[in-house]
Amino acid sequence: MTPEFVTGVGRETINLILLISAPVLFAGMAVGLVISIFQAVTQIQEMTLSFVPKIITVLLVLLALSPWMMEVLVKYTSQIFTNIPNYIR
């Protein structure tokens, strides 16, 4: 196993993590931005007003995208396990 190979696997893993987490993070960020604009316009500074909608949005996005996330993760994991003999060489 060469350092380039290990770096490549690490890079691929980080790319996969970013791909899977991006929709959830962007949804939470979009809801947070909308709530922040609403709070600035109405001058309501309640902490739960920003916290609860973000949690609900993140949970809904996770529920909606969990089949796709699991498919991507299972495919990557099976690829890693299938290629174990190649990694040992």
pTM: 0.79
pLDDT band, very low/low/confident/very high, at 84 (cuts 50, 70, 90): confident
The pLDDT of residue 46 is 82
The two structure tokens encoding residue 21 = 């987490």
**Whether the predicted pLDDT of 1 surpasses 80:** no
The C-alpha atoms of residue 16 and residue 22 are separated, in whole angstroms, by 10
Number of residues that this document lists for the chain = 89
Question: What are the tens digits of pLDDT across the range 26-75?
Answer: 999 999 999 999 988 988 888 788 889 999 999 999 999 999 999 999 99
**Whether the predicted pLDDT of 18 surpasses 90:** yes
How is the chain split into domains, by residue range?
Answer: 3-87
